[in-house]
Amino acid sequence: MLGNKNSNDQVLVNMAEKQKRYEKLVHVYHSELYRFAYWLCRDPNIAEDLVQETFLRAWRALDSLLDQKAAKPWLLTILRRENARRFERKQFDYSDVENDTLVDEKSVTLDDEMEQTVIQRQIAKLSDEYREPLLLQVVMGCSGEEIAEILDLNKNTVMTRLYRARNQLKEALSRDDEQLKGASK
């Protein structure tokens, strides 16, 4: 009887430790994960759902996270996979856009809005192999090593992709700038 009580106490202690680790992960990484999720889907509700699902999966697999330093790449990997699952089960609803009125209430100035929109569109046009590392670096602030771990790539490959992504983005933005100058003449 005494042995059973000790094992029950140990289970409660282990669960309390797991709960503390989990709460710390949520506290430290929630806003970063949300920011990355928002960049992936451009919808605040879907981004929040992705983050919640990420943390749910993290809770279930928390015992597999042995190195706390690997938490950020581990969570980002879960988030990326969860975002991919969203498309596997997604049934697209089609609507007539010209009948909808879209109002942007967040923009500061028209120039800022246009610049941000152009940059976002050009980033979205990059192929996945270049867009993902760029977003992980720019939006999430991940290092080359972290990106390599998240994407399961060699660090040199990641650095090459980042370099090419920046160059492609720079070229596309300069082409857009040239077109705008030509149109204003």
Alpha-carbon distance 19 to 150, whole Å?
25
Residue predicted with more confidence, 12 or 78 = 78
pLDDT category, 111, cuts 50, 70, 90? low
Q: Are domains 10-90 and 116-184 of this chain identical in fold?
A: no
Asked if residue 122 lies in contact with residue 176, where contact means CB atoms within 8 angstroms, the answer is yes
Residue 44's pLDDT band (boundaries 50, 70, 90)?
Answer: very high
- CATH class for the domain made up of 116-184: mainly alpha
pLDDT confidence band for 18 (50 / 70 / 90): confident
Pick one of 1.10.10.10, 3.30.470.20, 3.60.20.10, 1.10.1740.10 as the CATH number of 10-90: 1.10.1740.10
Instruction: Sketch the domain layout of the chain as residue ranges.
Output: 10-90, 116-184
* CA 116 vs CA 91, 111, 126: distances in Å: 29, 9, 16
CA distances from 48 to 43, 107, 135, 152 (A): 9, 21, 18, 25
Distance CA 48, CA 46 (A): 5
d(CA 70, CA 77): 11
- Per-residue pLDDT reduced to its tens digit, 146-172: 899 888 899 999 999 999 999 998 898
